[in-house]
Amino acid sequence: MVKRLTPWILVVPASLLVLLLLILPVGATLLATFADAKGWAAPYLAFFNSGFRRTVLWRTVEVSLITTVISVVLGFIAAYVVAQMPGRLKSIMIIAAVFPLLTGVVVRSFAWLILLGKNGIINSALLALGVIAEPISMLYTEGAVIAAMVYLFVPLMILTLSGVLEGIPKDVLEAASSLGAAPFAVFRQVILPLAMPGLIVGAVLVFTGSFTSYATPQLLGGERQMMMGTLLYQRAMVTFDWTGASTVAAIMVVVTIAIVLVMTRLARRLNPLAA
């Protein structure tokens, strides 16, 4: 009897922490949006009736999806190259990929300020080469936010995919090639389906991280390229509109879950091995 209950007893502390620190706060945030004196749907109607807030929501989804797609492509290529390397070199390359994660998000975002500023490294190099006649305004644009987001999340994608790709047996690839499959066919019919679980996990991590990001959009996007994270901070800490902040948080939770479910379903449809 004790042996049967042991797994459940061991799970209880972690479950209580998740309940107290995650589920209850999120639940309280969601319930706060339905307690408005004007009606339970009033905060959501006010959000979606505002063209500015709809633009912020769409911009956040757009930036997050673009970041996810670029990170998946770059991360897959890098992870595949790393997976083919010998042991010691592979370890060095993984350390090199992880190294940016050892610094804070704010520090890495400030590095992009130095790169993209009008007196930054990129503009100085282009001016020195005679490519441009005057500095280009690259900061506080959607492209700057996407570039910084990709830089932040590609290492995470590499870590997620490298183990999955390394676990694909080389005998399977050799067998496919020996049966007459072209390199692209081997990739599409063998490598991609076997790597799909890692792709799903990595894409979900990148999307959720991008969608909820605050520091990078604030530093590189500013007020001109406001995203949901910065809007949430503004509502809560600047205007002290806690109902509005809770509404933004609730919409972020719902949109994140919906996009993740759609991505997972689409990935399973593209993966013939998941049937």
Q: At what angle do helices 105-116 and 121-129 cross, to 10 degrees?
A: 20
User: Which whole number is the average pLDDT over 6-31?
Assistant: 83
User: Which whole number is the average pLDDT over 47-52?
Assistant: 90
Q: What is the pLDDT of residue 270?
A: 64
Handedness of CA 193, 101, 22, 234 (dihedral sign): negative
CA distance 197 to 4: 32
Which tens digits make up the pLDDT trace of 196-249? 888 888 888 899 999 989 888 988 888 888 899 999 988 888 888 888 888 998
CA distance 103 to 100: 6
| Residue of 94, 96, 95, 74 lying closest to 157 (CA atoms) | 74
Q: What is the pLDDT of residue 105?
A: 82
DSSP secondary structure string for all residues of 244-269: HHHHHHHHHHHHHHHHHHHHHHHHHH
CA distance 55 to 48: 10
Q: What domains can be seen in the chain, in order of their start residue?
A: 51-274 (1.10.3720.10)
Q: Judge whether residue 138 has pLDDT over 90.
A: no
Identity at 37, one-letter amino acid code: A
Query: 1: pLDDT confidence band, cut at 50, 70 and 90?
Result: low
Phi, psi angles (nearest 5°) of residue 166:
-65, -30
